[in-house]
Amino acid sequence: MNPRSILRRRRSLLLSAAGAAVVLAASVAVAGTAEAASTLGASAAQSGRYFGAAIAAGKLGDSTYTGILTREFNAVTPENEMKWDATEPSQGRFTYTNGDRILNQGLSNGSKVRGHALLWHAQQPSWAQSLSGSALRSAAINHVTQVATHYKGKIYAWDVVNEAFADGGGGGRRDSNLQRTGNDWIEAAFRAAHTADPNAKLCYNDYNTDGVNAKSTGVYTMVRDFKSRGVPIDCVGFQSHLGTGIPGDYQANLQRFADLGVDVQITELDVAQGGNQASIYSSVTRACMAVTRCTGITVWGIRDSDSWRTGENPLLFDNSGNKKAAYTSVLNALNAGGPTVPPTSGPTSPPTSSPTTPPSAGACSASVTLNSWSGGYTATVKVTAGSAAVNGWAVTVNLPAGGAVTNAWNATSTGTSGTVGFANVSYNGQIPAGGSTEFGFQGTGSGPSATPTCRAS
């Protein structure tokens, strides 16, 4: 049966059973699937989802490649260009040229951009590989802060941490230089990313977590713990590099994570070519479509010749860019519909318009939240206006002896040790009466213990 007749049949079933509460719920669930769409992105969008591809900056000059990309996909992920080795090749020197090319390709096509990946044990620059302890922790958190700040407001979802769990039966963490800085490195990374870009969805991403197994249960336990303690995690990515089979509990596994209150996403899908490639692709797509909080699917490349899995032909388009049977099976599964993803607020840009009448000066207060580790910390400072709006603000923080501020975001800083001053930047000086804004800084040693003072202008 083609997708249109499936839809027609569904609608007539709904009409014939109208009145039953369970069917009313189902009629809401299939809203938006009135017409079968003819591209992956458009068909996914009918239920509020995206369908994306990992892309490479070096291929954007290939017109066959970009033709398929702009026609079919409404999300992109940089295959390598936003990784640590690409964005910070030497410590403190950031290069965003290729990452920005991916970003701009996506944004100019109206696509969501998934950021991949802020911290990972692989593809680290050599300078980071040679660090350890608090020097590595500080460098890693600074990396998260800088890169997430550079892309602030532009990224739909970040893979904040990639592949931190071990394979095998234990369900524990993978050994790595990052893990050896302390078990809290993952939550420190999520907190820093949230401070830098509060509107991006923050994901944990891994492979071999596609069914219910020891590794996925290890991730599940971490996510449950993060949610219970308020660590800012919004989503879990399931890479889904699949062979010739799919775990029978694939959908149930997605659902158990969704039930923790996070979005789930299929982030790096590819399937070995074989007799059942098309049906595995279809099963993955139907599983995502059946889970309300499964917000989208990304395939890890466009044509078979673009894949990292040389010789396995694992993608939806052949080497010449022709649609494969797997493509049609995915399109049909998307067009068959599913529960609609509730809209959430995506990244928003800082306000660009100023009020016509500047608010009069008032008082302000400041409070600080610390995320500390041995030898360093990040501080998030909340600046709150009193009963009148403020037009600009200055916050003073007293640091304990021996410590120093290494960098700040969403504020300018004066001094690095002892009494350190922070003042608003152009876009966060005006705070309405009772409103608040946040800035942050990173430091060595231990963080401030007293409440900062705030002066409004």
Which strands sit side by side in the sheet containing 453-456, from one edge to the other? 412-414, 419-423, 393-398, 453-456
Shortest spacing between CB 195 and ligand G2I, in angstroms: 25
Shortest spacing between CB 123 and ligand G2I, in angstroms: 5
Binding of ligand G2I by 17 (CB under 6 A): no
Shortest spacing between CB 306 and ligand G2I, in angstroms: 9
Q: Is 79 a catalytic residue?
A: no
Shortest spacing between CB 88 and ligand G2I, in angstroms: 16
What is the rounded distance in angstroms from the CA atom of residue 358 to the CA atom of residue 374? Answer: 44
In order of 95, 106, 145, 339, 427, the CA distances from 199 in angstroms are 23, 18, 14, 24, 16
Q: Which of 79, 163, 187, 438 is catalytic?
A: 163
Binding of ligand G2I by 306 (CB under 6 A): no
Judge contact between 364 and 456, C-beta under 8 A.
Answer: yes
Among 239, 251, 380, 430, indicate the residue that binds ligand G2I (CB under 6 A).
239
Q: Is 88 a catalytic residue?
A: no
Question: Which single residue is written with the structure tokens 């965003």?
Answer: 96
Among 30, 76, 79, 234, indicate the residue that binds ligand G2I (CB under 6 A).
79
Among 94, 96, 127, 308, indicate the residue that binds ligand G2I (CB under 6 A).
308
Give the count of residues interacting with ligand G2I (CB under 6 A).
9
Q: How many residues does the chain have?
A: 457
What is the rounded distance in angstroms from the CA atom of residue 341 to the CA atom of residue 348? Answer: 19
What is the rounded distance in angstroms from the CA atom of residue 187 to the CA atom of residue 204? Answer: 10
Question: Which single residue is written with the structure tokens 């640590």?
Answer: 84
Cα-flanking dihedrals φ and ψ of residue 345, to 5°?
-75, 130
Q: Which of 79, 81, 187, 268 is catalytic?
A: 268
Pick between residue 137 and residue 241 the one whose CB is nearest to ligand G2I. 241
Shortest spacing between CB 116 and ligand G2I, in angstroms: 6
In order of 179, 194, 270, 417, the CA distances from 239 in angstroms are 21, 22, 9, 44
Pick between residue 80 and residue 295 the one whose CB is nearest to ligand G2I. 80
Binding of ligand G2I by 121 (CB under 6 A): no
Q: Which residues bind ligand G2I (CB under 6 A)?
A: 79-80, 122-123, 162, 207, 239, 268, 308
Residues belonging to the active site: 163, 268
